Amino acid sequence: MLAIQINTTSCDGSDVFWPWILWLLAAFILGIILGWLLKQIFGSQDSTAKSTDYKDDLTKVEGIGPKIQQLLYNKGITNYYLLSNTKTEVLHDILVEAGPAFLTHKDITYNWAAQALLAEQGHWEELERWQKLLKDGV
């Protein structure tokens, strides 16, 4: 007959306690590393890691016509996400650089980013109400 003896006293300072703790710690660290690697491989798309290689119709933003849209496209601002994250000073500088024909639009660049954010998030009704106020006044 084969006899198996198992020593189960681990919390009293015997030799079994520390190897188990080390195995659990190693498994925990391995789990963290594997989780990090899987996140790096498959990635999780968050709002800051959006794809910017597509073009939106920027003329839906009040104050942007086809010519200004082309100026923005030439500067790499091709969609609502990029427009909503562009500072007003940068938009103003693009119009100043484009020449005197565009300077009449430089004072309305302050709300383009906010309008683009509404468009990016799909709040079209709210955007239309706001644009109606911009056109008609308060």
Query: What number is the average pLDDT over the span 81-91?
Result: 91
**Is the pLDDT confidence value at 44 over 90?**
no
pLDDT for the residue numbered 73: 94
Query: What number is the average pLDDT over the span 53-64?
Result: 89
**Is the pLDDT confidence value at 13 over 60?**
no
Closest listed residue to residue 62, CA positions, set 122, 100, 137, 116: 116
Instruction: Name the pLDDT band for 5 (thresholds 50, 70, 90).
Output: low
Instruction: Report d(CA 138, CA 5) in Å as an integer.
Output: 88
Higher pLDDT, 44 or 99: 99
What confidence tens digit (pLDDT) does each residue in 18-29 have? 787 899 999 999
C-alpha angle 65-86-120 in degrees, rounded to nearest 5? 70
Instruction: Report d(CA 67, CA 86) in Å as an integer.
Output: 18
What confidence tens digit (pLDDT) does each residue in 25-41 have? 999 999 999 998 888 88
What confidence tens digit (pLDDT) does each residue in 66-78 have? 999 999 999 999 9
Burial 56-87 (b: 16+ CB within 10 A, else e): bebebbbbbeeebbebbeebebbbbbbbbebe
pLDDT for the residue numbered 77: 93
Average pLDDT, the chain: 82
